[in-house]
Structure 1
Amino acid sequence: MKFLTVIGARPQFIKATLVSKKLRESHNEIIVHTGQHYDKNMSEIFFKELAIPKPDYNLKIGSASHGRQTGEMLIKIEEVILKEKPDSVIVYGDTNSTLAGALAASKLHIPVIHIESGLRSFNKKMPEEQNRILTDNISTYLFCPTKTAVDNLRNERIIEDVYNTGDVMYDSTLFFGDMAQNKFKEGLAVNDVKIEEKNYYLATLHRAENTDNIEKITTLLNTLNKLDSKVIIPVHPRIKNIVKELNKKCEFKNISIIEPVGYLKMLYLIKNAKKVLTDSGGMQKEAYFLNTPCITLRNETEWIETLNGNLNVLCKIDCEDIIDKAYNTNIDYNMINKNYFGKGKAVIDIINLINTRVRC
């Protein structure tokens, strides 16, 4: 069979890596990179580092408003589908690339496989939540990372061809985690200063609800600057200028702002951080898988399983709450169960389902 895989953002490159390698053992795959993440450090480095097959198409959409970006993706993905005539289209996660790929395929009556289906934050103001719900409702095969995701779909009366496969991100973290530790076994320098393991915080900020609000992002940076160890922040290209301008005005001496890093370096930074502070869904899980305490800078999470045992805790955008969670969270390791996300063989289960259940 011929599959067309649509990816466009850092998390999707990671999720697609092992799936594409396994899929290509017995099927033809066409990879479409929408260009949603276009910065070299957010895109190209992942294809080189993880040995992802080079995209057959790079649509080079780039940054734009949600409507414009999704619309341009939809037009160009449709053109590729009409040319390539795939038997099925594979999409990952919850980005605009996900929705555009699913919508283009659905309107052309091409079966859609949604990997990482069924997640819900129950906050419909989030663009990601809108993308998840819409994609799930037009997908033909829904591969869920957890039982909770299956239950979410059942509650929305989506029950046909829904499967709990486990989480491909768990597979990737297990596969690449040791590789990352070995690659940087001599240590890692940040802004020419060698970092000490478990003596720094790692923070990432990218969600519009935090970064589009100048008051929130100022509060976040001011608070991170007050923590008791150095804070390393790989800055998302979309907010680079905002952070740099605020840094000039406020002089965040405790914060090291760096360019986005590749997957292996990020895994090393997560693994060896004192704590992670993030609004990223993917990093919550990576920290959980690597046993690094995480403070999620949001009021809700799609990954509720990570909250058991307080290895991951939700946090308001409030100075006192962030500092309290950073210093005073007690973790109960007996409550932590990685099996919520499968047993590290989600990729195998997904390919088996594709081979036995997908009908063209």
Structure 2
Amino acid sequence: MGKRFAIIVGTRPEIIKMAPVIRECERRKVDYRLVHSGQHYDHAMDRAIFEQFQLPDPHVNLRVGSGRHGEVTARILERFEAYILQEDIRAVLVHGDTNTTLAGALAAAKLNLPIGHVEAGLRSFDRTMPEEVNRVLADHVATHLFAPTPAAVDNLRAEGIENGVYLTGQTAADAIEFLRPGLAEHPILNELHLKPGAYVYLTLHRQENTDHRERMDLLIQGIERVGKELGFTIVCALHPRTRGRLIEYGWLDRFYGIPGIRVVYPPVDVFASLALQSQAAVVLTDSGGLQEEACMLGVPCVTLRENTERPETLAIGSNRLAGYHPDTIVEAVSMMARAPRGWTHPYGDGRASIRILDIFLAE
């Protein structure tokens, strides 16, 4: 591809997982534009990711901000389409399952441009999740589908998508390999006075969890019991959405008062998060990305959901679904803390970004 293309990102997980692709673009000196939608707009947290991965600044920030799903998607679609036309963009790369993913793919599709979808084919089979809707729609308009695992390829085939599908591995593996050399020396454990293997690393941010009061109550009960009954310190990187809901429900003091909990707010950056995961007894999360990261770091994971778009982690024994009930949460953490860690992760060899650009630029 000799024409200019755009990479659009809008959330911190997208930036992290596209960082290896962006770095490879820079190494090859290709003609591309890096577009930040502004869907996540914490400048300090974004800046930390760009610095840690040594990325160039985005060429443009669309500054769409927050809002309802339709509002955000529409603003990105409108502003990104205008940028595509202004900059004579001839192809677009999107990642994952966010509103930025969907809007970026739709803008390109409406203009009949080639679309590469990085992390194609993931499925939770739960259409109540906004992320599931986004990823399915993006897959069905993409021309190049970069699947991270054979299971993702199978999911696409089951939906009648076979042309333009490429098994590349997961770019998150590339990102972890880039940061891995510094994890052991990271100061975060000393700063939080933590002992390796003596704590559970907790993140909680999914809309289907945080926006349901009864479910959040059950989850907090489960977290309390993990500390009390299993004796673990709980290290929580508190997400702004979750903090907002705790304030709305009148539970912020309750959450901060969980015995043994250490709340980090604002949440730690990606480098510190990986360092905390790497030394945890268990990662306790509702994040899809952390299920993968824990698996690649060799740390057991318990997922606070009833389904996952990362079934490979369940198959190899690195992850267990706990749902929302306190009993199943305590049971899952107890089991995974004692589980063997000898799995081989299924996400590739850390060269996914090279394969993706080899394919996308050859068209």
Structure-2-length-normalised TM-score: 0.93
Structure 1: how far apart are the matches of 2:347 and 2:52? 25
Structure 2 partner of 1:234: 237
Give the 3-state SS of the residue equivalent to 2:58 in structure 1: coil
1:118 aligns with 2:124: no
Structure 1: how far apart are the matches of 2:73 and 2:165? 26
Structure 2: how far apart are the matches of 1:155 and 1:217? 34
CA deviation profile, 1:271-305 (whole Å, cap 9, x unmatched): 01111110100000000000111001111111111
Structure 2: how far apart are the matches of 1:319 and 1:30? 47
Query: Kindly tell me: are residues 154 and 39 of structure 1, through their superposed partners in 2, closer, same or farther at Cα, counting changes over 3 Å?
Result: same
Structure 2: how far apart are the matches of 1:333 and 1:292? 7
Give the 3-state SS of the residue equivalent to 1:64 in structure 2: coil
2:7 is aligned, of 5, 11, 14, to: 5
1:247 aligns with 2:252: yes
Give the 3-state SS of the residue equivalent to 1:232 in structure 2: strand
AA aligned to 1:174 is E
Query: Kindly tell me: are residues 254 and 215 of structure 1, through their superposed partners in 2, closer, same or farther at Cα, counting changes over 3 Å?
Result: farther
CA contact under 8 A between 1:144 and 1:166: conserved in structure 2? yes
1:241-280 matched pairs, under 5 angstroms: 241-244=244-247, 245-249=250-254, 251-258=257-264, 259-280=266-287
For structure 1, the residue ranges without an aligned partner over 5 or more in a row are none
Structure 2 partner of 1:33: 36
Structure 2 partner of 1:349: 355
1:301-340 matched pairs, under 5 angstroms: 301-329=308-336, 331-333=339-341, 336-338=343-345, 340=346
RMSD (Å) for aligned C-alpha atoms:
1.6
CA contact under 8 A between 1:309 and 1:333: conserved in structure 2? no
Structure 1 partner of 2:190: 188
Query: Kindly tell me: are residues 229 and 201 of structure 1, through their superposed partners in 2, closer, same or farther at Cα, counting changes over 3 Å?
Result: same
Give the 3-state SS of the residue equivalent to 1:174 in structure 2: helix
Cα distance, 1:347 vs structure 2: 1.4
Cα distance, 1:222 vs structure 2: 2.4
Give the 3-state SS of the residue equivalent to 1:181 in structure 2: coil
Structure 2: how far apart are the matches of 1:313 and 1:71? 36
Cα distance, 1:332 vs structure 2: 4.7
1:155 is aligned, of 151, 155, 158, to: 158
Structure 2: how far apart are the matches of 1:262 and 1:332? 28
CA contact under 8 A between 1:9 and 1:42: conserved in structure 2? no
1:61-210 matched pairs, under 5 angstroms: 61-184=64-187, 187-190=189-192, 194-210=193-209
Structure 1: how far apart are the matches of 2:131 and 2:77? 17
AA aligned to 1:306 is T
Structure 1 partner of 2:298: 291
Structure 2: how far apart are the matches of 1:81 and 1:325? 47
CA contact under 8 A between 1:218 and 1:246: conserved in structure 2? no
Structure 2: how far apart are the matches of 1:317 and 1:302? 17
Cα distance, 1:249 vs structure 2: 4.2
AA aligned to 1:264 is F
CA contact under 8 A between 1:118 and 1:149: conserved in structure 2? yes
CA contact under 8 A between 2:189 and 2:276: conserved in structure 1? no
CA contact under 8 A between 1:297 and 1:317: conserved in structure 2? yes
AA aligned to 1:347 is S
Which portions of structure 1, spanning 4 or more consecutive aligned residues, are displaced by more than 6 angstroms?
none
Structure 1: how far apart are the matches of 2:315 and 2:254? 39
Structure 2: how far apart are the matches of 1:187 and 1:66? 37
Structure 1: how far apart are the matches of 2:56 and 2:93? 15
Query: Kindly tell me: are residues 327 and 14 of structure 1, through their superposed partners in 2, closer, same or farther at Cα, counting changes over 3 Å?
Result: same
Give the 3-state SS of the residue equivalent to 1:182 in structure 2: coil
CA contact under 8 A between 2:97 and 2:134: conserved in structure 1? yes
Cα distance, 1:28 vs structure 2: 1.1
CA deviation profile, 1:30-59 (whole Å, cap 9, x unmatched): 111111111235422211222221011111
Structure-1-length-normalised TM-score: 0.93
Query: Kindly tell me: are residues 113 and 327 of structure 1, through their superposed partners in 2, closer, same or farther at Cα, counting changes over 3 Å?
Result: same
Cα distance, 1:345 vs structure 2: 1.3
Structure 2: how far apart are the matches of 1:289 and 1:41? 27
AA aligned to 1:246 is W
AA aligned to 2:95 is Y
Structure 2: how far apart are the matches of 1:249 and 1:182? 34
Structure 1: how far apart are the matches of 2:233 and 2:350? 33
Cα distance, 1:333 vs structure 2: 4.4
Structure 1 partner of 2:54: 51
CA contact under 8 A between 2:211 and 2:245: conserved in structure 1? no
